[in-house]
Structure 1
Amino acid sequence: MTDIITNYLTGILLVIGAAFALVASVGLLRLPEFYTRMHAASKAGTLGACVMLIAVAVYTDDTAVASRALAGVVFFLMTAPISAHLLAKAAYAAGYPLWEGSVHDEMPPRGSHQKE
């Protein structure tokens, strides 16, 4: 009985993780510019990968495999937002333009600060 519940839970988690990965890939194809594409890939892709790693941890009987999968989740959650932020800052500094439909640019160009 426990094996059936574990198999169903693993399957549900894998489908959810795959759905988030699919949303991330569709976002890469459909979104208009670099920054929104990067946001879709980093947020939805990270969530999808983390949910699939949790499915591995639920499914396995080996404690070493489960702990590695959960460590992978922790590392994903610690590194993906930081790397996405740094990548966006580097792209902005390199001059990648915002989408024409962007409402407001929160980062003023260098040298435009008013000194009082």
Structure 2
Amino acid sequence: MEIASYVFMTIGGIFFLLGGLGVLRMPDTFNRIQAGTKATTLGAFSMLIGVFFANPSWVAKILVIIVFVAISNPIGSSAIAKATYNSKNVPDNLVEDDMKSRGEDNDVV
């Protein structure tokens, strides 16, 4: 069980590292949000699975944290993307503007 714990925690650490590199290297805010959110979600899940293998008695706490991360990461990234769009800091190479085509009011966050 200890080896499985180390393996999952290492995988989680690698996802966090790659997420940080993605945030540093991506050209605009929307790509940075996507890179950071996907990597931190997978990294957190892997870390928590590693903690489960290290301490199986914590299963209830770990499940609650996994559910919270699974809900809060997409909501947080969506809020950041909407705020970026409303700040008129939209990249020049945006191919399709879904918000404008739906006729949404851009002043409401």
Q: Normalising by structure 1, report the TM-score.
A: 0.79
1:106 and 1:17 map into 2 onto residues whose CA distance is: 33
Match of 1:21 among 16, 23, 27: 16
1:37 aligns with 2:37: no
The root-mean-square deviation of aligned C-alpha atoms, in Å, is: 2.0
Q: What is residue 78 of structure 2 aligned with on the other side? A: 85
Which structure 2 segments of 5+ residues have no match? 105-109
Conservation of the 8 A alpha-carbon contact between 1:58 and 1:66? no
Match of 2:59 among 66, 85, 89: 66
Larger Rg: 1
Q: Structure 1, residues 5-45: CA drift from partner, whole Å, max 9, x if none?
A: x1121111111111111110000110001111111111111
State the Cα distance separating 1:109 from its structure 2 match.
Answer: 7.4
State the aligned residue count: 104
Which structure 1 segments of 5+ residues have no match? 1-5
State the Cα distance separating 1:105 from its structure 2 match.
Answer: 2.4
Q: Which amino acid is 2:97 matched to?
A: D
Conservation of the 8 A alpha-carbon contact between 1:24 and 1:41? yes
Q: Which amino acid is 2:13 matched to?
A: A
- C-alpha change, 1:82 and 1:111, in structure 2 (3 Å) is closer
Q: SS state of the match for residue 107, structure 1? A: helix
- C-alpha change, 1:82 and 1:46, in structure 2 (3 Å) is same
Q: What is residue 105 of structure 1 aligned with on the other side? A: 97
Q: Normalising by structure 2, report the TM-score.
A: 0.83
Q: Which amino acid is 1:88 matched to?
A: A
Q: SS state of the match for residue 16, structure 1? A: helix
1:94 aligns with 2:83: no
